[in-house]
Structure 1
Amino acid sequence: MSLSGVPRPAGRSWFNPSTWHLRTRLILLSMVLLVAISSAIGVASYASMDVVLTNQLDAQLKLASRGRPPEGNPSGRPDPLDARGQSVGTLNARVVNGQISREAGFLSSDFTRTPLTSSDVAALQALPHDGLPVDRELSNGGYRVLATETPYGDVITGLPLSMKQSTEASLVLTMVLVSLGGLVLIGLAGTALIRRTMRPLEQLSDVATKVSKLPLDAGEVALAVRVPASAAHPTTEVGSVGHALNLMLDNVSSALEARQRSEMKVRQFVADASHELRTPLTAIRGYTELMRMTEPLTEDGQKSLGRVQSQSERMTALVEDLLLLARLDEGKATETTDVDLTQLVVETVSDEKVMAPDHTWQLQLPDEPVTVRGDTTQLHQVLANLLSNARKHTPAGTTVTTGVMRSADGSVVVTVTDDGPGIPAEFQGSIFSRFTRADAARSGSEGSSGLGLSIVESIVIAHGGTVELVSRPGRTEFAVRLPAAGSAAS
């Protein structure tokens, strides 16, 4: 699981460290520091060991170059070419008149001397006779050699570097293995510790992710998600962030509750006002019809009375729409039956043909009837509102096509498409909001209350479906997706 609690973003790349998790960067940084420290310790240890071994070898070399008094040597002077007491591989040579003596060579295991090669002789003759040990590569391998001037001639003594090199190689191997083992152990332990340390951040991320998925825009919201107390202690850096996040969520929850109470008051007022308006509107319509039947009126009086009647009918329709929205907002379950959606579409389109003969009305229906589970009256209102919207806001000659189809997931899709001027992009985001009107953008002479599409969305959602809009100049399509009969509607 990622630190944020969500799938890894597509933009993350191992070649871009800025996209790595903080946990990953901390682990890698720790490993880099450990490698640097181990390398520094290894280099210092190797250099120190090299100095110690070289000093030991130089001391042995000086001791070997002194030799011992040979038998029968009355002067008692030491002879460096005497092999007794020297280790196998020791190089002994005497320089006489600038030339290496023939008895020079390497001491073998049987205490005989292995003669020098021509390249060995050339390398030894080039040695400075200053009494300081130097390293040379000879036919027997690497050697630490010393050329000294003695009373009995210039003497060259050498000791093999193999023991020193073997000791240093063992040191390097040991340090590499120990360092690698330590890095693995520290890496595993560090990963576990860093994961545990970063767990509060993951909890903060999980809470933020859950809140981001909550529908906070409308309705009653239960904002019960909070950062656990273990990650919200204000005395720590991470805990202070968790504590601040909880305070913010408390504030947001209070604001949402206040907004919900305000919405409920407004909805209740609209419902009550609409209900109360039905009686006077019915009385106005009744008295208007009575006056037309019983009172002699002039032509202007008849027109005025007709205007009163048409406006009262329009207001009655608006009140009924508001009452319907209020009932839908309350979430009350509706009586549902199997509805032949194909037949309902045919009937609704036929009604619109009578009202708008100047439009071209087309149908795209499947061969078999399509049935959904729902309220026939409400689904009829959905279709009527969509078709009325296309009729009112498009010019004469516009083609309006209504289609019904089954989608691959088994749901039913009803589309209402017109080839009118389209809906401007700035209106599309709020087209289903209440009292939203785009009359100025789409041609047509009939006004609207701005509730039709809001009623469409509310009814469709109450039936467990969705409604979508796709619009551009020359093509506007409303797509209503409903569960088929027998599907589980929400």
Structure 2
Amino acid sequence: MSTLSGAAPRPRRRWTDPNSWQLRTKIVLAMTLLLVAICSIVGSVLYASMDRFLTQQLDTQLFQASDRAARFGGANSLSPQGSAPAPSPGTGQSGNGTTQNPPDPRDTRGQGAGTLNIRLYGGGALMTGGFIGPDGQRLAVSPSDTAVLAAVARTAAGSGDHPVPVDKSLSAGHYRLVAIQTAAGDTIVTGLPLAAQDSTLASLVLTTVIVSLGGLVLIGLLGTYIIRKTLKPLGQVSAVAARVAQLPLDAGEVALAVRVPPSAAHPGTEVGNVGHALNRMLDNVSGALQARQESEMKVRQFVADASHELRTPLTAIRGYTDMLKMTESLSPQGTESLGRVESQSLRMSRLVEDLLTLARLDEGQPLKLGPVDLTQLVVETVTDQKVIAPDHRWRLDLPDEPIEVKADGARLHQVMVNLLSNARKHTEAGTVVTAGVARSATGDAVITVTDDGPGVPAELQTKVFSRFTRADKARTGTEGSTGLGLSIVQAIVEAHGGSVELSSRPGRTEFAVYLPA
């Protein structure tokens, strides 16, 4: 048995859609992204500042070491223009075989471990010097280092009095190098390792990342707690609105007593203004519902009184009509007119009875409950319809065992009569109408009335159970209707705690009545 609920189903949220995120989630995420941006900017500025400071400090040490190396052995420097030829590489001998001992720039005083000092002669064709190891030993340069150092030395010729340090990768690691020319014409290349600076910057980056992540986690947790607590009144406002949305406000007496608590309805704050406005709106709606209820009660009372009062004159009209037929000799035209009066009085009587039935159901008059055999009820009502409309094809779909429910037999009989009459009036002759009884999967009793007529238009299916809804213009037929039959069906079924549903398409229309077991 399908039921209708006043609460709309909650839409399924997709985390990939930002529009479905909660407000606190958006605030926490925005706050976190801002903090990440701030930490990134601060870390980048701090890294750049520290890198610049360490580079300036290293350049100062580099120029000092280069100046000491240039002054060391300056008087003994050999050059192609000197009095003696330049030494052969690795031999210490001059070009004429005379033994020479050129000064090794690694002997310069004040040079620390890892320092590179190279003296180049003849435009970089010959060189002496190398690295100073961690324990003070002398280390030679590799062939690949020789090419890099020669290229650095060549740049010294165009730098003038302002040599520019450069960073190069050598066999001993990453070095910062500077090349200067001495007064004797040779070139001194001095280098200091960048390992200490790189290590300091790496430690700075690691410390910044750890501190930033810790701060983000801490601020995220505290921010989430504060935001949740701050938005708690908004959740109370939402809960009140959700409860009101589930109330059946369309008809009947509605007790609209739910309100936003005073703690969330203080004017002056954003959430407080929303809560206060919602309470005022609920007060207005409650007053309107009360006025609507009073108006409905007056209309129902008027309909009940008017219907009750109309029964007496209608009964009198039908009585006088019958008496005229029996006592007076009328012309054919008079007989026809009297027949019209009788048929219209009968139609008016049916309308009055329908209005009285709805008035009694609206007042909530108790049902006369008792055991009702639905199988027998369906058989009897279908048999009556066969007599009334023999031009339709009537069929039964009954279970092997009787199905009984505790209900008001007279009211259920009226339900079946209205459903079968509805199928008869709004379909053409020859239409197959099937009445059935069954048990649903949940054990409820189900009565169905199905026809193979043209069907109910889609625009009428949503309001077919509303009062005075007439489908004569949409479904062909020969008899008129008051538009109250299906309204009475729904009212009687709901009074029994059940429901009635319609499914229709061209060629098949089915009304299903569900009654609780």
TM, length-normalised to structure 2: 0.83
1:304-330 Cα deviation digits (max 9, x unpaired): 555545444443333222222111101
Q: Distance in 2 between matches of 1:297 and 1:467?
A: 50
Q: Give how far 1:283 is off.
A: 4.0
Contact map agreement 2:373 2:402 (CA 8 A) in 1 = yes
Q: Distance in 1 between matches of 2:498 and 2:413?
A: 15
SS of the counterpart of 1:363? Answer: strand
Q: Give how far 1:171 is off.
A: 0.6
**Pairwise CA RMSD:** 2.9
* Structure 1 residues 403 and 113: alpha-carbon distance in aligned structure 2, compared to 1, 3 A threshold: same
Matches within 5 A, 1:298-337: 298=330, 307-337=340-370
TM, length-normalised to structure 1: 0.87
- Range that drifts further, 125-134 or 390-399: 125-134
Contact map agreement 1:66 1:79 (CA 8 A) in 2 = no
* Structure 1 residues 349 and 122: alpha-carbon distance in aligned structure 2, compared to 1, 3 A threshold: same
Question: Which residue identity does 1:122 align to in structure 2?
Answer: A
- Range that drifts further, 429-438 or 59-68: 59-68
Q: Which residue of 2 aligns with 1:82?
A: 107
Contact map agreement 2:446 2:514 (CA 8 A) in 1 = yes
- Range that drifts further, 174-183 or 340-349: 174-183
Matches within 5 A, 1:153-172: 154-172=187-205
* Structure 1 residues 132 and 441: alpha-carbon distance in aligned structure 2, compared to 1, 3 A threshold: closer
Q: Which residue of 1 aligns with 2:99?
A: none
- Residues 1:114 and 2:115 aligned together: no
Q: Distance in 2 between matches of 1:232 and 1:404?
A: 54
* Structure 1 residues 308 and 85: alpha-carbon distance in aligned structure 2, compared to 1, 3 A threshold: same
* Structure 1 residues 151 and 346: alpha-carbon distance in aligned structure 2, compared to 1, 3 A threshold: same
Matches within 5 A, 1:58-457: 58-67=59-68, 80-82=105-107, 84-99=109-124, 103-126=128-151, 127=153, 128-129=155-156, 130=159, 131-150=163-182, 154-289=187-322, 295-298=327-330, 307-457=340-490
* Structure 1 residues 288 and 111: alpha-carbon distance in aligned structure 2, compared to 1, 3 A threshold: closer
1:171-195 Cα deviation digits (max 9, x unpaired): 1111111122222222222333333
SS of the counterpart of 1:23? Answer: helix
Q: Which residue of 2 aligns with 1:487?
A: none
Question: Which residue identity does 2:180 align to in structure 1?
Answer: T
* Structure 1 residues 41 and 296: alpha-carbon distance in aligned structure 2, compared to 1, 3 A threshold: closer
Q: How many residues align?
A: 474
What is the percentage of aligned positions where both structures have the same residue? 64
Q: Distance in 1 between matches of 2:389 and 2:104?
A: 132
Q: Distance in 2 between matches of 1:435 and 1:163?
A: 93
SS of the counterpart of 2:106? Answer: coil
Contact map agreement 2:391 2:430 (CA 8 A) in 1 = yes
Q: Which residue of 2 aligns with 1:55?
A: 56
Q: Which residue of 1 aligns with 2:11?
A: 9
Instruction: Specify every segment of 5 or more residues in structure 2 that has no aligned partner in the other structure, as ranges.
Output: 1-6, 77-102
Q: Distance in 1 between matches of 2:177 and 2:387?
A: 119
1:15-34 Cα deviation digits (max 9, x unpaired): 44344444333333222222
* Structure 1 residues 94 and 461: alpha-carbon distance in aligned structure 2, compared to 1, 3 A threshold: same
SS of the counterpart of 1:386? Answer: helix
Q: Distance in 2 between matches of 1:83 and 1:29?
A: 59
Instruction: Specify every segment of 5 or more residues in structure 1 that has no aligned partner in the other structure, as ranges.
Output: 485-490
SS of the counterpart of 2:107? Answer: coil
Question: Which residue identity does 1:164 align to in structure 2?
Answer: Q
Q: Which residue of 2 aligns with 1:488?
A: none
* Structure 1 residues 447 and 132: alpha-carbon distance in aligned structure 2, compared to 1, 3 A threshold: closer
* Structure 1 residues 162 and 9: alpha-carbon distance in aligned structure 2, compared to 1, 3 A threshold: same
Matches within 5 A, 1:17-28: 17-28=18-29
Q: Distance in 1 between matches of 2:459 and 2:121?
A: 107
Q: Distance in 1 between matches of 2:475 and 2:164?
A: 104
Question: Which residue identity does 2:58 align to in structure 1?
Answer: L
Q: Distance in 2 between matches of 1:423 and 1:6?
A: 26
Question: Which residue identity does 2:165 align to in structure 1?
Answer: P
- Range that drifts further, 366-375 or 145-154: 145-154
1:45-85 Cα deviation digits (max 9, x unpaired): 111111111122122223333449989x99xxx99533554
Q: Give how far 1:336 is off.
A: 0.9
